Amino acid sequence: MIEQPLTLPCGHTIKNRFIKAAMTEGLATPADNATTAHQVLYKTWAKGGAAVLVSGNIMVDRRYLERAGNVVVEDEQALAQLKAWANETHAGGSELWAQISHPGRQCPRLVSTQPISASDVQLNMIANFGKPRAASLDDINDIVQRFATTAKILKKAGFDGVQIHSAHGYLLSQFLSPITNKRDDEYGGSLENRARLLLRVIKTVRDAVGPDFPIAVKLNSSDFQKGGFSADECIQVVQWLNDANIDLLEVSGGTYEQLEFFQQSDQKVRASTQKREAYFLEYAQNIKKVANMPVMVTGGFRTLDGMESALKNKQTDVIGLARPFCLNPNFPNEMISQSLTQLDDVESTLILGKGFWGPTSSSKSVQALNNQCQAGWYYHQIEQLAQGKSSDENFSPRKALFAHFRKDFSRAIKRKFA
Ligand SMILES: Cc1cc2nc3c(=O)[nH]c(=O)nc-3n(C[C@H](O)[C@H](O)[C@H](O)COP(=O)(O)O)c2cc1C
């Protein structure tokens, strides 16, 4: 099954069922442009045999980033670098799709002290995020247009598709969630209103890229937060997406406050979820019952059996994977040839059931440290691959944490003075 091609509603066929899910690279220049490091990284991944590589967050507005080091595409001034990135990915054998994104309130203070969101609900995490202002109707029109402009430029640069990021607590997901969306206009209140921005963005992007170009959407199966975007609401949004002319729906879950998509062994995983390995599969099963478009589930897939059975049982059409690409970029080829049936990941190779920081704990701050260590550790692996080196599994997670803070800080400062 995993080796079988899949034809998308727009008529485009992808060569097999492996898609690399988005991972923010942090490799852009201080002017937010793509570099040769992107080319090296994506060629390495492409040679591994996945049908599609989805880029990390490519931002639609230079003022608001998920992280300094994001690529920003607002105009054509760095088209040549984008073209080179797409060409190198194609030379390696994969397609390149761009994840286009706006962080909303999940924009670090070092990038903007006053981000923009659905409402002025601040993200209170280690004082790293400023209080956002609520987007005006003019801002909303501008945001919609930006997604379309970015998509059009990326298509021109040779990217093969786009993915609109509406998951993980970023701006479009902030509009969907009643916790962050307190508006009383046509973009807030009822679910229909909260989903209006996402549906407008999709329509405007479709108008900009034409009928044959793949458009994917990444959506939370749930925010996993009391009072947030719920699993039932997700099912309703998927029914609206059926009429929105998209080609692939990636199912994920969680936000910065509830990092569900970043599960690791120090978090309490229900036994049934562990057995299923892919932790959003139960939700995806319900989504599949109503979805007309192909579905991709990302999060936790690690065994060939688990992937094959999810495909066979029609719980998903595509297998999304992220972290394993940092450790063994060649695994899609190896799994297709069945020379590999089980992926190593850090849980099995490095920490053997411990958290990244050290001991496991139910304390929120220890969990936050573990998550930051984990992010830093994977950022380090991405940097290794982007320099043409192998992954470095023995790199200390604690060192990774400090390197991650130091580098993000220095990138943000360089950007300010660029
Ligand atoms: C280092 C790193 C960076 C990530 N960056 C992004 C991102 O830019 N956009 C996104 O939608 N998800 C991002 N994710 C989440 C992944 O796409 C994926 O949902 C998650 O890692 C679960 O899949 P996995 O178990 O196969 O790793 C990131 C994950 C990691 C480890």
Domains along the sequence of the chain with CATH: 6-346 (3.20.20.70)
Residue 357 alpha carbon to ligand 1 centre in Å = 19
Q: Which atom of ligand 1 is nearest to the CA of 167?
A: 11
Confidence of residue 401 (pLDDT cuts 50, 70, 90): confident
Question: Judging by beta carbons within 10 Å of its beta carbon (0-12, 13-18, 19+), is residue 417 exposed, middle or buried?
Answer: exposed
Residue 15's alpha-carbon distances to 51, 153, 298, 336, in angstroms, are 5, 25, 18, 12
CA distance 111 to 89: 29
pLDDT digits (tens, 9 = 90+) for 172-203: 999 999 999 999 999 999 999 999 999 999 99
Residue 324's alpha-carbon distances to 21, 200, 236, in angstroms, are 10, 34, 32
Structure tokens at 214: 């793949």
pLDDT higher than 70, residue 356: no
Task: Answer yes or no: are the C-beta atoms of 75 and 36 closer than 8 Å.
Answer: no
Specify the pairing of strand 161-166 against strand 95-101. Answer: parallel
Q: Which of 23, 335, 348 to mutate to test the pocket of ligand 1 (most atoms within 8 A of CB)?
A: 23
What pLDDT is stored for residue 418 in this prediction? 84
Which residue type does 416 have? K
pLDDT higher than 70, residue 251: yes
Taking only Cα atoms into account, the Rg of the chain, rounded to an integer number of angstroms, comes to 20
Residue 184 alpha carbon to ligand 1 centre in Å = 33
Residue 320 alpha carbon to ligand 1 centre in Å = 10
- Of 165, 384, 186, 366, residue with least CA distance to 264: 366
Three-state SS at 15:
coil
Residue 168 alpha carbon to ligand 1 centre in Å = 10
pLDDT higher than 50, residue 267: no
Q: Which of 24, 101, 217, 269 to mutate to test the pocket of ligand 1 (most atoms within 8 A of CB)?
A: 24
Mean pLDDT of 403-408: 93
Residue 97 alpha carbon to ligand 1 centre in Å = 15
Residue with tokens 């793509």: 34
Using CB distances shorter than 6 Å, the residues near ligand 1 are 21-24, 56-57, 99, 165, 168, 218, 252, 261, 298-300, 321-323, 375, 378-379
Candidate from 62-71, 102-111, 391-400 with smallest mean pLDDT: 391-400
Task: Answer yes or no: are the C-beta atoms of 33 and 84 closer than 8 Å.
Answer: no
Segment (H or E) for 6: strand 6-7
Q: Which atom of ligand 1 is nearest to the CA of 374?
A: 31
Which residue type does 135 have? A
Residue with tokens 């034409």: 210
Residue 64 alpha carbon to ligand 1 centre in Å = 19
Strands (E) in 281-413, as ranges, are 295-298, 318-321
Mean pLDDT of 3-9: 98
CA distance 61 to 249: 24
What value does the mean pLDDT of the chain take?
92
Confidence of residue 152 (pLDDT cuts 50, 70, 90): very high
pLDDT digits (tens, 9 = 90+) for 274-333: 556 888 999 999 999 999 999 999 998 989 999 999 999 999 999 999 999 999 999 999
Q: Which atom of ligand 1 is nearest to the CA of 379?
A: 1
What pLDDT is stored for residue 209 in this prediction? 98
What is the share, in percent, of the chain residues with pLDDT greater than 70? 92
State the alpha helices, DSSP H only, in 118-230. 137-157, 171-176, 191-194, 196-209
Q: Which atom of ligand 1 is nearest to the CA of 378?
A: 1
CA distance 202 to 156: 18
Q: Which atom of ligand 1 is nearest to the CA of 382?
A: 1
Structure tokens at 106: 């999940």
pLDDT higher than 80, residue 249: yes
Three-state SS at 136:
coil
What pLDDT is stored for residue 106 in this prediction? 96
pLDDT digits (tens, 9 = 90+) for 96-118: 999 999 999 999 999 999 999 99
Residue 203 alpha carbon to ligand 1 centre in Å = 26
Q: Which atom of ligand 1 is nearest to the CA of 218?
A: 11
Q: Which atom of ligand 1 is nearest to the CA of 170?
A: 11
CA distance 146 to 142: 6
- Of 347, 307, 310, 353, residue with least CA distance to 331: 307
pLDDT higher than 90, residue 137: yes
Residue 322 alpha carbon to ligand 1 centre in Å = 6
Task: Answer yes or no: are the C-beta atoms of 151 and 208 closer than 8 Å.
Answer: yes
pLDDT higher than 70, residue 259: yes
Residue 99 alpha carbon to ligand 1 centre in Å = 11
pTM above 0.85, yes or no: yes
pLDDT: is 216 or 377 the higher one? 216
What pLDDT is stored for residue 394 in this prediction? 84
φ, ψ for residue 357, nearest 5 deg:
-75, -30
Please tell me the chain's helix, strand, coil percentages from 3-state DSSP, rounded to the nearest 5. Answer: 40, 15, 45
pLDDT higher than 50, residue 39: yes
Residue nearest to atom 22 of ligand 1 (CA): 299
